Amino acid sequence: MSWTDSIQALPEQYQKHIPEEYQKYIPHLWLLGAGVIGAYLLRGLFSYLKILREVRGLPVKHGFFPAYEQGLRARVPHIPYILPIKDFYSRPEWDRFEKPRSDLLAYTVATQHRAIYWVANPYTAQHVFTKTSLFEKPTFHPRYVAAAKFGGNIISASDGDDHRRHKSVVRGCFGEEIFRSAWDEMDKTFELFLDEDKLREGGIMEDVGATTIKLTYVVIGKVGFGHEIPWDSQRSKKGEKMGFVESYEVVDRTMLYQFTLPLWIMKILPTKELRRMGDGRTAFVGYCYDMVRSKRAELNALREAGEKSKAPVDLLGAMVHAQLVAEEEARLKHGHEFTPNVGLTENEVIGNMFIFLLAGHETTGHTFAFTLAQLALHPEWQEEVYKEIKEVCGDEKPSYRDVHKLPLCLAVGLEAMRLTDIVRQLFKVAKEDSMLPYTTWNEAGEVTKREHLVKKGSLIYIDTPASQLNPFYWKDANEFNPRRHLGADDARASLNNAEVPFVAFSMGPRQCIGRRFAEVEIICFIASILSRYTIHPVPTHAGETKESMRERMIGSAVEDVTMTPGKFQVRLEKRH
C-alpha cells in the first residue's frame, strides 16, 4: 500500500464534488495541511522553550491565554493554566509578590511569543520609565490600539517624533488660564452639587462614587468642551437625535464597550443599549468635529481681521489655538510653504479630546471617592487639613490664588491614590537586551538587590498599586499618611517629594501631561469640602468596626477601565 492510500480521504459526499482527475491530489493536500499545522505548533513550542530559558531564575507563572488586561480580568473566570486570572491579579495587590518574595515576577503565555514581566518595585519602575533608550511604549498593545479608536492621541502615539508632535500641541493647552478655569468650574460645580443633592446644611451623600464622578464629569464638560452640563440630563425620545450632552454622557458611561467593540457591532446587534452606545459614539464624534471646525474658523477670522487671538479657556479651543500657533510658526520658519505635517490632524484633535474625557474626569472622579472614604475613616487628618485651610484662607473661601499654599490638601489626594491606584498598570517593551534591577527577600525580611537580563521584545508591566504598597520602600505602606508626600519644610506637596518614586502618573517624558490639571481639581475639591464640613462614615449596623467599614468603602472597589469604587455613603456635618 502506498503512503497516499494510508491517508484518510475526504468523505464520499464531498469527493463527488471534486473532479476525478484532481482527487489524486487529496492526500497531498492533507499532508500539506498537517505539515503547516505541525510547523506552527513546533514554532510555538520552540518559542515557549526559548522564553522559559529567558525567565529562568525568577518566580514564573504559566498560562495559555493572557489574563492581565484590567476591566476584563475582573469579569472572566479563573481557569488554571488556561486563563489563570488569580496568577495575574490579587487583592490586596502586594500579595502575589509577597508570597514568592520577589518584586519581579515572570509570566509565560503560550499565545504570546515574548517574555512578560510584572514589576512591583518603585525604583525599577523609575528605571523603566526614564531609560528611554532601553524601553519604549508598546503601541501595538490592544489597549493603545483601542485608545486610538476616536483618533490618534498622545496616549497611543509612539515614542519619538510622533509623541513630540502630539506633546507640542497638547502641552500648549495646559496653561495657567486652563488651571484657573479648572478651579473655578470645580468650585462652581461643588456649589451646584450641594444644592442639587440638598446637602448645603449637611446630610448623607448616598452614593459617593456616582456623585464624585458626576462632579468631574460636569467640570470636564465645561473646561474640556466649553459646554454647560446639567446635574441631571434628559434622555432623548425615540427618533430624536441625541444632543451633545446626552451623547457625551453615553460615551462616558460605556467607556469599556467603546474601547472593546467596533462601531459596526454596536449598530447591528439587536439590543437597544448597544445601539444606543453606537448612536452616542457617532453623535459625539460628529459634534466634536463640528466644534473643532467652528473654533478653527472663529480663530482664523480673528487672525485675518488683524486681531491677536487669545487662547480659549476650554481644552478643545485651546488645542485648536495651539494647532494654529504651530502652523503659523512653521509658516514663519519655512516661508509660505504648505506644512501639512505640522501639529495635529483634525482626527488627532478629536482623539486627544477623547483621552481628556477619560483621563481628565474618570480617574479624578474615582480618586475623589477614595479620598472621601479615607478622610471619613481618618478624622484626625480632616482636622490637620482644616487647620491648614484656616491658616491660609482665614474666614475667606479658598480660591485659585491659594493653590500653591495648600500642600496638605494635595497630599491627601495623592495618598488616597497611592493606597488605591486608579490606573492599575503601565507598561513598556524592551528595545534591546538590558539588565532590570529588582529585589528579593528572605523569611527574616533581609533584602537582596538583584538584576535580571530581559531580552529585546519583552513586555514589562508596572503594577502601580503593588509598587505603591511595597513595604520594603514605603514605611508603614498600608497606613494613610499624607505627610509622606510633603517636602522637608511641608511647603509643597509634589510627586517628587514622596519618600520614594510615586508611579501613579508615570514618569519621564511620558508622564501624564494632565497631572497638574488633576492636582488643581484635587486641591479645590478637598479645600471646598473640608473648609465647611466634617466627613463621617455611615455604619450599616451598630458597632460596625473600622476595618469592616474600610472593606465596605474601599475594598469593594472593582476594576473597570479604571479602579471603580463600590457603592457607599458618607455623612457631611456642617462646621460651625
CA 271 to chain centre: 28
- Kindly report the number of other CB atoms within 10 A of residue 32's CB atom: 11
User: Cα torsion for 144, 145, 149, 153, to the nearest 10°?
Assistant: 40
Check the annotation: does 512 bind a ligand.
yes
Asked if 500 contacts 122 with a C-beta cutoff of 8 angstroms, the reply is: yes
Q: Could you please report the per-residue DSSP string of 434-449? A: EEEEEEEE-TT--EEE
Q: At what angle do helices 515-530 and 407-419 cross, to 10 degrees?
A: 110
CA gap 122, 125 in Å, rounded: 5
3-class DSSP assignment, residue 533: strand
Size of the chain in residues: 576
DSSP letter (8 states) at residue 199:
-
Instruction: Enter the C-alpha cell of residue 86.
Output: 488569580
Q: Which of 56, 83, 112 is nearest to 461 (CA)?
A: 112
Instruction: Enter the C-alpha cell of residue 68.
Output: 492581565
Instruction: Enter the C-alpha cell of residue 28.
Output: 497531498
Check whether the bond before 11 is cis (ω within 30° of 0): no
CA gap 322, 154 in Å, rounded: 15
Binding-site members are 512
Mark the binding-site residues for heme, compressed into ranges.
Answer: 512
